[in-house]
Amino acid sequence: MTHEEAIAVARPRLIFALDVGSAAEAREYVARLAPEVSFFKIGLELFIAAGPAMVEWLVGEGHRVFLDLKILDIATTVGRAVAAAGRLGAEVVTVHAEPAVLDAAARGKVGGRPQVFAVSLLTSEACDFASDRVAKVAGMAVACGIDGLIVAGHAEEIAAVRAVNPALAVICPGIRPVGSDPGDQRRVATPAAAMAAGADYLVVGRPIRDAADPLAAAQAILAEMAEGLLACG
C-alpha cells in the first residue's frame, strides 16, 4: 500500500469533533473540511445549541454523524433515545457503560441502526487500571449486543477490547498530533500510534478546530494516520 492509498483508507476513519456553540459555526467548519472530512461528531454542546436539525442537515449533506450524547437514563428512555437517534440518521450514538443501559440501547436499535458505542473511561481521566476497565466494559458490550467501545488510543486499551472480541469496533478520542498540547486530555495518543494499535476511528477536535488552517491540519493528521496504517502493514 502506498502512502496515498493509506491516506485514502484513513480518510473515512477521521471524525472531526464539532465542539462549537452554534449551527452557523458548525456549518462553517463542515464547509472548510468537506474536501477531506465526511464524518462529524456532535456532542452535548452543539446538540443543545442546534438540536436534532443539525444531525438532519449533516445527513442531508451526505455526511456521517457520530452523536456523542453519552446517554444515561432509565431503560425505556435509553431505548427510545437510541431509536430516535437512528431515525435522525445518526450512524453512531454513545451510551454509558452500565449493564441496564447497554441492554436497553441494544434493544432500541432498529434494523441494526444506529451503532451503539459504550464509553469506558473519559480520556480526560488518568487511570492506572484503564485496560482492566476496558476489558470489563467490552465483556458487557458483547453480552448486550453493543457494537463497540470508546477508548483511548493506547495499544493496551485497544488490545483489551480485541482480546474480548475482535469484532468490536473501537473509536478513539484524545488524539493529539506529534508535539501538540494535550490540553485537558490525560490519556492521549498520536494519530499514527492509535492507528498502528488497531483503532477503527479517531476523533479529533481542537488540533483541527483551533489551527490557523483547519483543512491543512486535517490533512496533516490524515498523513499521520496513514503512517500508522503503513506501520502495521
DSSP, res 11: G
Q: Summarize pLDDT for 184-204 with one digit per residue, the tens.
A: 556 689 999 999 999 999 999
Asked if the model's pLDDT at residue 182 lies above 70, the reply is no
Are 224 and 191 spatial neighbours (Cβ–Cβ below 8 Å)? Answer: yes
Residue 46 is predicted with a pLDDT of 98
d(CA 213, CA 215): 6
Residue 178 is predicted with a pLDDT of 79
Nearest to 71 by CA among 15, 136, 116, 11: 116
- Number of domains the chain is built from: 1
Asked if the model's pLDDT at residue 102 lies above 80, the reply is yes
d(CA 77, CA 104): 9
Mean pLDDT to the nearest integer, 29-48: 97
Residues pairing with 116 in the sheet: 93
pTM: 0.94
**Ramachandran category for residue 32: left, alpha or beta (phi over 0 → left; psi -120 to 50 → alpha):** alpha
Catalytic residues: 70
Residue 188 is predicted with a pLDDT of 81
d(CA 81, CA 223): 36
Nearest to 66 by CA among 29, 96, 36, 41: 41
DSSP, res 171: E
**C-alpha angle with apex 184: 182 to 190, nearest 5 degrees?**
30
Asked if the model's pLDDT at residue 183 lies above 70, the reply is no
Residue 16 is predicted with a pLDDT of 99
Q: Which residues, other chains included, contact 25 with Cβ-Cβ below 8 Å and sequence gap of 6+?
A: none
Looking at residue 2, its amino acid is T
Q: What CATH number should be reported for the domain holding residue 43? A: 3.20.20.70
Q: Summarize pLDDT for 104-161 with one digit per residue, the tens.
A: 999 999 999 999 999 987 655 555 557 888 999 999 999 999 999 999 988 999 999 9
Coil, strand or helix: which one is 31? helix
Domain of residue 53 covers 3-231
C-alpha atoms less than 13 angstroms from C-alpha of 105 in its C-beta half-sphere: 32
Average pLDDT of the chain is 93
d(CA 221, CA 62): 22
Residue 181 is predicted with a pLDDT of 64
Mean pLDDT to the nearest integer, 169-181: 87
Residue 130 is predicted with a pLDDT of 77
Mean pLDDT to the nearest integer, 59-80: 98
C-alpha cell at 220: 496533516
Coil, strand or helix: which one is 159? helix
